[in-house]
Copies of this chain bind each other. A is one copy, B any other.
Amino acid sequence: MIRVVLADDEDLIRGALAALLELEDDITVVAQVSDGNAAVEAVRAHRPDIAVFDLEMPGRDGVLAAEAVRDVPDLVVVLVTRHARPGVLKRALAAGVRGFVPKTTPASRLASILRDVRGGSRYVDSDIAAAALTEGACPLTARELEVLRHALRGGPVAGIARESNLAAGTVRNYLSSAMTKLNVSTRHEAARLAWEEGWI
């Protein structure tokens, strides 16, 4: 019997996935949680065979949660995601994730994917893998990504500076550098692009 911990912040989706998995004779959902921190706790408490995490979760996203449970022996982590962005796949694989399943995957395949990764193989959606391979790596530094993250909201530079505890001039420098690298002319375009690529 494959024991599964399920983490997704959307109750409807999580419950539906649980129903789907429970239909299988050899799979049982031992815990359901709705955020990244609870996911880590649930994994430590229940010691499942497989942890299925949604990528987009409040508190700690799926990749960070996967990193946090890397030390658990014999645990396989599978990420489920809506926006299957190439950059995220790399982060996920680096975090030891064994399966990367976009929500466009047919529901009928989920169970067999779980069995496969349990058996030792990896599962990565072929479309995303291809995109990730043709993509160049993220050209931005950690600081540049940091300020871009804050720029996503749309506020003025002064606000970003406050949030990141930097001088306004420094923030502008990082933003300027990021904009040059991404070949766009406003920080908002840069932030959007970085988001779409999965860098932030």
Contacts and interface: CB of A to CB of B under 8 A. Distances in A.
B20 A105 contact: no
B107 A19 contact: yes
- What is the count of identical protomers in the complex? 2
A14 B12 CA distance: 11
Interface of A: 9-20, 23, 80, 82, 101-108, 110, 153-156, 184-186, 188-192
A9 B155 CA distance: 32
A120 B24 CA distance: 35
A107 B12 contact: yes
A82 B13 CA distance: 10
Residue from the set A15, A153, A154, A186 with the largest chain B CB neighbour count within 10 Å: A154
Contacts of A101: 12
B186 A156 contact: yes
A102 B12 CA distance: 8
B11 A192 contact: no
A101 B16 CA distance: 14
- Greatest chain B CB density within 10 A among A20, A102, A108, A190 is at A20
A71 to B, nearest CB: 29
